[in-house]
Amino acid sequence: MNNKKVPEPVISRLFVYLRELIELTKMNIRTISSGELGVRTNLSDAQVRKDLGYFGQFGVSGSGYDTNELKVALEEILGKDKTWNVAVVGIGHLGGALLAYPGFKERGLNIVAAFDSSKRKIGKKIKGIIIQSIDEMPKTVTNKKISIGIISVPAKVAQEVADKLISSRVKHILNFAPIALNVPEKIKLKNVDLSRELETLSYFLANKK
């Protein structure tokens, strides 16, 4: 093990390894080499070993990694024994899709609250969750122990919503609004900018040689 700061891309890839290990153990495959795990995840053998090396020594020279052992170790490292409560703010098409997305619950992320500012939507129930007024956010975040907020509102109101989430004591934010949000140092902010991803692809179309 080394004790250097772990780069965020490493964390992100550990979740990929874990998913693959879950599949492998389901298939009763007991052992895997870094090379084979790399093939399955489109990463290099060296990267697999280096990434794991940030957290310990999990392999056996000459044979590779015990799939179940490594799976358990990664679950421990990544905190997969715990579950987290999540709120979605902005229940438009995207917000509604996030409420319905099965991948979150499977991975220990429970969406337990939904907020919107539209009177037409407040009180309606989607996927078992009643849409609340944004005014109820502080109370609900505390009562339901919500630690992550997802922002899927239009860009013009996204900063305001972020401020409200933070003052309601949410710890981290996943932002889908296409705008740069300002948040305090301690809040981890991740941005997903769908238009930008597509636009980047279009750049390569426009500039193909």
Partner DNA sequence: GTATGTGAAGTAATTCACAGCT
Partner DNA sequence: AGCTGTGAATTACTTCACATAC
List of residues contacting a second copy (CB under 8 A): 8, 11-12, 15-16, 19, 40-43, 78-79, 82, 84, 86, 92-94, 96-98, 100-101, 103-104, 106-109, 147-148, 150, 171-174, 178, 180-182, 188, 190, 192, 194-208
Choose the binding region for DNA from 6-14, 15-23, 83-91, 101-109 (rule: CB under 7 A). Answer: 6-14
Question: What whole-number distance in Å separates Cα of residue 134 and Cα of residue 158?
Answer: 13
Question: What whole-number distance in Å separates Cα of residue 48 and Cα of residue 46?
Answer: 5
Q: At what angle do helices 45-53 and 8-26 cross, to 10 degrees?
A: 110
Question: What whole-number distance in Å separates Cα of residue 71 and Cα of residue 62?
Answer: 19
* Burial category of 100 from C-beta neighbours within 10 Å (exposed 0-12, middle 13-18, buried 19 and up): exposed
Q: How far is the CB of 138 from a second copy (least distance, A)?
A: 19
- 203 binding partner (options DNA, a second copy, none; Cβ < 5 to 8 Å by kind): a second copy
Residues 6+ apart with CB under 8 A from 208: none
Subset of residues 33 to 72 that bind DNA, contact rule: CB under 7 A: 33-35, 43-47, 49-50, 52-53, 57-65
- Whose Cβ is closer to DNA: residue 48's or residue 111's? 48
The one-character DSSP state at 180 is P
Applying CB under 7 A, the residues found at the interface with DNA are: 1-2, 7-10, 33-35, 43-47, 49-50, 52-53, 57-65
